[in-house]
Amino acid sequence: MTENCWEFMKCGRDGSNNQSICPAVTDSRANKVNRGRNGGRVCWAVDGTFCAGRVQGTYAEKVLICSECPFRHKVQEEERTKFRQIYFKI
């Protein structure tokens, strides 16, 4: 079973507590990308996510932060040649 970012980070932004739900959890356009639920395995490409407890901004704004994220590396290793960096058309 593949892990989604909120399970790996245990951020609680998946509705499991009183905090507001992160766009990575609800963005259905990204569903099944990298075998994830909604944006759960492509969260670096979802605008406005809540990592590190603050709104992270757009894909362009957070690309450097996310490039160092252990979860992103994990997904890249697990997906190998099927790994997708983004889910939207440029």
Piece in contact with ligand SF4 (CB under 6 A), picked from 8-16, 26-34, 57-65, 78-86? 8-16
Size of the site for ligand SF4 (CB under 6 A): 12
Contact of 13 with 54, CB cutoff 8 Å: no
Give the residue among 18, 26, 71, 75 at the shortest CA–CA distance from 47.
26
x-marked contacts with ligand SF4 along 33-72 as a string, rule CB under 6 A: ----------x-----xxx---------------------
Query: Which residue blocks in 1-90 are alpha helix, DSSP H?
Result: 5-9, 23-26, 59-67, 70-79
Q: Which residues bind ligand SF4 (CB under 6 A)?
A: 5-6, 9, 11, 13, 22, 24-25, 43, 49-51
